[in-house]
Amino acid sequence: MLKVLNVGGNNKAIPLPPQYAGFEHLLLDIDPEGQPDLLCDARQLTTLEPAQVEAVYCSHNLEHYHRHEVPSVLAGFLHVLKDGGFAHIQVPDLTELMRQVLARNLDLEATLYTAPAGPITPLDVIYGYHVEIERSGKDFFAHKTGFTLASLFRLLTEANFSKIYGFCTNLEVTMVAFKGVPDPAFQALFNLDPN
Protein backbone atom coordinates (compact mmCIF):
# COMPACT_ATOMS: atom_id res chain seq x y z
CA MET A 1 0.00 0.00 0.00
CA LEU A 2 1.18 3.52 -0.78
CA LYS A 3 2.08 5.62 2.25
CA VAL A 4 1.88 9.35 2.90
CA LEU A 5 3.71 10.90 5.83
CA ASN A 6 1.67 13.86 7.06
CA VAL A 7 4.30 16.11 8.69
CA GLY A 8 2.92 18.39 11.38
CA GLY A 9 -0.69 17.57 10.57
CA ASN A 10 -1.88 17.93 14.20
CA ASN A 11 -4.34 15.00 14.17
CA LYS A 12 -5.97 12.55 11.78
CA ALA A 13 -9.38 14.18 12.12
CA ILE A 14 -8.12 16.86 9.73
CA PRO A 15 -8.76 15.36 6.27
CA LEU A 16 -6.02 14.97 3.70
CA PRO A 17 -6.52 16.29 0.15
CA PRO A 18 -8.32 13.92 -2.26
CA GLN A 19 -5.03 12.97 -3.95
CA TYR A 20 -4.31 10.74 -0.94
CA ALA A 21 -7.37 8.50 -1.25
CA GLY A 22 -6.00 4.98 -1.07
CA PHE A 23 -2.77 5.99 0.73
CA GLU A 24 -2.02 4.80 4.23
CA HIS A 25 -1.99 7.97 6.36
CA LEU A 26 0.95 8.18 8.77
CA LEU A 27 0.81 11.24 11.02
CA LEU A 28 4.05 12.71 12.32
CA ASP A 29 3.85 15.52 14.85
CA ILE A 30 5.82 17.01 17.74
CA ASP A 31 2.68 17.32 19.89
CA PRO A 32 1.48 14.09 21.55
CA GLU A 33 -1.99 15.60 22.05
CA GLY A 34 -3.01 14.71 18.46
CA GLN A 35 -1.94 11.07 18.95
CA PRO A 36 0.48 10.93 16.01
CA ASP A 37 1.74 7.64 14.62
CA LEU A 38 5.24 9.07 14.92
CA LEU A 39 6.03 11.50 17.73
CA CYS A 40 8.97 13.29 16.18
CA ASP A 41 10.31 16.76 15.44
CA ALA A 42 10.45 17.24 11.66
CA ARG A 43 14.00 18.56 12.05
CA GLN A 44 14.92 14.97 13.06
CA LEU A 45 13.45 13.10 10.07
CA THR A 46 16.88 11.84 9.01
CA THR A 47 16.93 9.68 12.17
CA LEU A 48 14.02 7.64 10.75
CA GLU A 49 14.25 4.69 8.40
CA PRO A 50 15.08 5.93 4.88
CA ALA A 51 12.92 5.52 1.76
CA GLN A 52 9.77 4.42 3.59
CA VAL A 53 6.99 6.52 2.01
CA GLU A 54 5.83 7.52 -1.45
CA ALA A 55 4.61 10.96 -0.35
CA VAL A 56 5.24 13.60 2.27
CA TYR A 57 2.38 16.01 2.90
CA CYS A 58 3.30 19.18 4.80
CA SER A 59 0.46 21.69 4.99
CA HIS A 60 1.15 24.94 6.83
CA ASN A 61 3.93 23.48 8.92
CA LEU A 62 7.20 24.50 7.22
CA GLU A 63 6.76 28.12 8.34
CA HIS A 64 6.91 26.94 11.97
CA TYR A 65 10.69 26.44 11.73
CA HIS A 66 13.40 29.08 11.72
CA ARG A 67 14.76 29.85 8.25
CA HIS A 68 18.09 28.15 9.03
CA GLU A 69 16.23 24.96 10.04
CA VAL A 70 14.20 24.61 6.83
CA PRO A 71 17.03 22.90 4.86
CA SER A 72 17.26 20.14 7.48
CA VAL A 73 13.49 19.61 7.34
CA LEU A 74 13.61 19.37 3.53
CA ALA A 75 16.60 16.99 3.74
CA GLY A 76 14.44 14.85 6.02
CA PHE A 77 11.66 14.81 3.43
CA LEU A 78 14.11 13.47 0.84
CA HIS A 79 15.43 10.96 3.38
CA VAL A 80 12.05 9.32 4.05
CA LEU A 81 10.84 9.45 0.42
CA LYS A 82 11.23 6.55 -1.97
CA ASP A 83 12.67 7.29 -5.41
CA GLY A 84 9.98 8.75 -7.64
CA GLY A 85 8.04 9.96 -4.61
CA PHE A 86 7.11 13.55 -3.83
CA ALA A 87 6.77 16.18 -1.15
CA HIS A 88 3.53 18.19 -1.27
CA ILE A 89 4.08 21.44 0.63
CA GLN A 90 1.66 24.27 1.36
CA VAL A 91 2.68 27.51 3.09
CA PRO A 92 1.27 31.03 3.41
CA ASP A 93 2.05 33.20 0.37
CA LEU A 94 3.76 36.31 1.71
CA THR A 95 3.84 37.97 -1.72
CA GLU A 96 0.06 37.82 -2.01
CA LEU A 97 -0.32 38.86 1.63
CA MET A 98 1.71 42.00 0.99
CA ARG A 99 -0.27 42.72 -2.18
CA GLN A 100 -3.59 42.44 -0.37
CA VAL A 101 -2.48 44.51 2.63
CA LEU A 102 -1.38 47.32 0.31
CA ALA A 103 -4.27 47.07 -2.17
CA ARG A 104 -6.90 46.99 0.60
CA ASN A 105 -5.02 49.46 2.82
CA LEU A 106 -5.27 47.00 5.73
CA ASP A 107 -3.86 47.50 9.18
CA LEU A 108 -1.81 44.52 10.37
CA GLU A 109 -4.51 43.67 12.91
CA ALA A 110 -7.48 44.12 10.58
CA THR A 111 -9.42 41.06 9.41
CA LEU A 112 -7.84 39.73 6.24
CA TYR A 113 -10.36 36.89 5.95
CA THR A 114 -12.50 34.72 8.20
CA ALA A 115 -11.56 31.06 8.60
CA PRO A 116 -13.54 28.36 10.43
CA ALA A 117 -11.38 29.17 13.48
CA GLY A 118 -12.30 32.87 13.29
CA PRO A 119 -10.95 36.14 11.89
CA ILE A 120 -7.41 35.99 10.48
CA THR A 121 -5.22 39.10 10.44
CA PRO A 122 -2.10 39.84 8.39
CA LEU A 123 -0.11 39.41 11.63
CA ASP A 124 -1.59 35.90 12.01
CA VAL A 125 -0.35 34.97 8.54
CA ILE A 126 3.12 36.30 9.32
CA TYR A 127 3.56 35.13 12.93
CA GLY A 128 0.97 32.39 13.44
CA TYR A 129 -2.64 32.37 14.61
CA HIS A 130 -2.38 34.38 17.82
CA VAL A 131 -5.58 32.97 19.32
CA GLU A 132 -4.24 29.40 19.16
CA ILE A 133 -0.78 30.37 20.39
CA GLU A 134 -2.26 32.23 23.37
CA ARG A 135 -4.86 29.54 24.13
CA SER A 136 -2.42 26.63 24.00
CA GLY A 137 0.70 28.34 25.34
CA LYS A 138 2.65 26.26 22.79
CA ASP A 139 5.38 28.21 21.05
CA PHE A 140 5.63 25.69 18.21
CA PHE A 141 2.36 27.10 16.83
CA ALA A 142 4.20 30.36 16.06
CA HIS A 143 5.51 31.07 12.56
CA LYS A 144 9.25 31.59 12.50
CA THR A 145 9.86 32.16 8.78
CA GLY A 146 7.90 32.85 5.61
CA PHE A 147 7.92 32.03 1.93
CA THR A 148 7.16 33.25 -1.54
CA LEU A 149 6.84 31.03 -4.60
CA ALA A 150 10.39 31.95 -5.63
CA SER A 151 11.96 31.46 -2.19
CA LEU A 152 10.40 28.03 -1.62
CA PHE A 153 11.35 26.93 -5.14
CA ARG A 154 14.95 27.99 -4.44
CA LEU A 155 15.05 26.08 -1.14
CA LEU A 156 13.68 22.92 -2.76
CA THR A 157 16.22 23.22 -5.57
CA GLU A 158 19.05 23.65 -3.07
CA ALA A 159 17.75 20.58 -1.19
CA ASN A 160 18.21 18.53 -4.40
CA PHE A 161 14.62 17.79 -5.32
CA SER A 162 14.74 16.81 -8.97
CA LYS A 163 11.49 18.15 -10.45
CA ILE A 164 9.52 20.93 -8.78
CA TYR A 165 6.08 22.25 -9.64
CA GLY A 166 4.66 25.32 -7.92
CA PHE A 167 1.63 27.56 -7.98
CA CYS A 168 -0.17 30.11 -5.84
CA THR A 169 -3.84 30.28 -4.90
CA ASN A 170 -5.81 31.99 -2.16
CA LEU A 171 -2.88 33.33 -0.06
CA GLU A 172 -1.10 29.97 -0.34
CA VAL A 173 2.02 28.68 -2.09
CA THR A 174 1.78 25.02 -3.10
CA MET A 175 4.77 22.97 -4.24
CA VAL A 176 4.98 19.39 -5.43
CA ALA A 177 8.64 18.35 -5.49
CA PHE A 178 9.95 14.96 -6.58
CA LYS A 179 12.84 12.78 -5.47
CA GLY A 180 14.63 11.32 -8.49
CA VAL A 181 12.65 10.57 -11.64
CA PRO A 182 9.01 11.50 -10.97
CA ASP A 183 6.55 8.61 -10.97
CA PRO A 184 4.03 9.47 -13.75
CA ALA A 185 1.16 8.16 -11.62
CA PHE A 186 2.03 10.68 -8.92
CA GLN A 187 2.33 13.50 -11.45
CA ALA A 188 -1.15 12.56 -12.68
CA LEU A 189 -2.58 12.93 -9.14
CA PHE A 190 -1.95 16.68 -9.45
CA ASN A 191 -2.47 16.97 -13.23
CA LEU A 192 1.19 17.92 -13.62
CA ASP A 193 2.80 18.16 -17.04
CA PRO A 194 5.44 15.39 -17.17
CA ASN A 195 7.61 17.57 -19.42
What's the pTM value of the predicted model, to 2 decimals?
Answer: 0.96
Domain ranges across the chain: 3-92+143-189
Of 113, 81, 80, give the one whose Cα is nearest residue 96. Answer: 113
Summarised one tens digit per residue, pLDDT across range 83-107 is 999 999 999 999 999 999 999 999 9
Side chain identity, residue 58: C
Dist CA 155 CA 89 (whole Å):
12
Please tell me the predicted confidence (pLDDT) of residue 194: 85
Position with higher pLDDT, 166 vs 140: 166
- pLDDT confidence tier of residue 31, bands split at 50, 70 and 90: very high
Architecture field, domain 3-92+143-189:
3-Layer(aba) Sandwich (3.40)
Are 46 and 77 within 8 A, CB to CB?
no
- pLDDT confidence tier of residue 195, bands split at 50, 70 and 90: confident
Let me know the angle formed at the C-alpha of 189 by 188 and 194, rounded to the nearest 5 degrees: 30
Residue 7, pLDDT > 90, answer yes
Please tell me the predicted confidence (pLDDT) of residue 61: 97
Task: Report the chain's mean pLDDT, rounded to a whole number.
Answer: 96
Contacts of 171 (CB under 8 A, 6+ apart): 92, 93, 96, 97, 100, 112, 113, 125
